[in-house]
Amino acid sequence: MKPKSVKVVVFADLDGSLLNDKYEFHEIEPILHQLLSLNVSIVIASSKTRSEIEYYRKKWQICDPFITENGCAIVIPENYFKISHEFTKQTVGYKIIELGTDYRIIREKLAAVKNRTGVNIVGFGDMTVEEIAKDTALPLHLAKLAKKREYSEPVKIIDGHEKEVLKAINDEGLCHIMGGKYLHILGNCGKGPATSILKKLYLLQFNKIISIGVGDSPNDLEMLKIVDKPFYVNKSADKKAIWKEIKLFAQAQ
C-alpha cells in the first residue's frame, strides 16, 4: 500500500454518532477498526468524562487524542505529537490542554443559581451512581465513570422557569449547552474551539490533513463548522451508511 500524502482525522461524538440509544456499538466497531488500519486518526469529542472516553478508547484500541466534556479539555497521549506544543498540565500518560472551568467552581456557581432562582435543578453531583444509572440507562460501571466530572455538570431543571435559570447561569459567567438528555453547564469553551486547536496541531505535525466531523446534537454544531467534511447524524439517518461513506472517503485519499 502506497503511503498516504494526506492525514485523515475524524472528530466523532459518542452518543448518537458512534453509540446507539442503548450505548451499543456493534454496527460501527468493524468500520472503526478498518479506519484505524488505514492510519486514520479517530478523535472522540464528547460531553462524556475523560474516564468514560478512556473506556471506549480501550475497547476500540484507539490511541489518538480526545476532547472531553463538550470541549472543556483536550487530552493528548504523551509523545503523540513530535512537535512541541503548549499544554496546561501533565498527568500519567497525557498532556492536557484545559479550556474549561474547574468542576468545584461549576458546582459552587450552580448552587448560587439555585439560591438566586429558587428553581429545583438536579445535577450529576446531586445524584448517586445508582440514580445516574437509572436516569441515563447506563450500566452501573459506566454511570460511575460519568460521575467523575472535571469541568462540567449535566443538569435537569425539574420545575421552574428555564429562561430564568439560563440567565442566572450566564450572570455567573458560565455557559450552557443542550445535549441529547441534559443541559450541560460549563465555562466559556466548546467543541468548536477544542477542535480548532487540535486541527492546528495535526497540521503542524502532518502539513496536510483532511478533517471529518460526525455529530448528532446541537452541541456538535460548532465542531461540524470547523471540519472540512461534516456529517450530521439526524434521527432518521442510516448511521452505518454514514460511517461506510467515511471509510470509502478515507480510502480514496
- Say which amino acid occupies 21: D
CA gap 222, 33 in Å, rounded: 27
Secondary structure class of 27 (helix, strand, coil)? coil
Cβ atoms of residues 169 and 155 within 8 Å: no
Considering the candidates 13, 15, 216, 220, report the single residue annotated as catalytic: 13
Torsion angles phi and psi, residue 74, rounded to 5: -110, 120
What is the number of H-type helices and E-type strands within the chain?
9, 12
The answer to whether residues 156 and 126 touch, using CB atoms and an 8 Å cutoff, is no
Burial class (CB in 10 A: 0-12, 13-18, 19+), 195: buried
Grid coordinates of 97: 490542554
Which residues neighbour 109 within 8 Å (Cβ) at sequence distance 6 or greater? Answer: 169, 172, 173, 174, 185
Q: Spell out the alpha helix ranges (H) of the chain.
A: 29-37, 50-60, 103-117, 129-136, 140-146, 162-171, 191-206, 221-226, 239-252
Is position 13 annotated as part of the catalytic site?
yes
Q: How far apart are CA 214 and CA 204, in angstroms?
A: 23
**Residues with active-site annotation:** 13
